[in-house]
């Protein structure tokens, strides 16, 4: 068997590159993927969630200090 038809374990970086060329696979580790855009309602929901968490933590701390 020659190098182009031999299928086996990939032992090093060169073997990986040969595999990608032989199988015509795109190396997706080199492709830049843009971040998804967040919609306005999603941003608002996360903002209110942060505010809710801060208020709850403050109430728990005040409760442990017997202020309330």
Q: What is the 3-state secondary structure (H, E, C) of the chain?
A: CCCCCCCCCCCCHHHHHHHHHHHCCCCHHHCCCCCCCCCHHHHHHHHHHHHHHHHHHHHHHHHHCCCC
The residue-averaged pLDDT of 53-63 equals 95
Q: What is the pLDDT of residue 45?
A: 96
Q: Is the pTM above the cut of 0.95?
A: no
Q: What is the pLDDT of residue 14?
A: 83
* C-beta of residue 10 within 8 angstroms of C-beta of residue 19: yes
pLDDT digits (tens, 9 = 90+) for 4-52: 555 566 778 888 778 777 877 776 777 788 888 889 999 999 999 999 9
**45 vs 1, higher pLDDT:** 45
């Amino acid at each position: 068997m020659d190098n182009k038809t031999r299928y086996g374990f990939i032992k090093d970086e060169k073997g990986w590159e040969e595999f990608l060329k032989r199988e015509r696979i795109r190396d997706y580790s080199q492709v830049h993927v843009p971040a998804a855009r967040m919609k306005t309602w999603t941003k608002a929901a996360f903002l209110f969630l942060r505010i809710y968490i801060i208020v709850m933590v403050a109430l728990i701390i005040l409760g442990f200090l017997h202020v309330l």
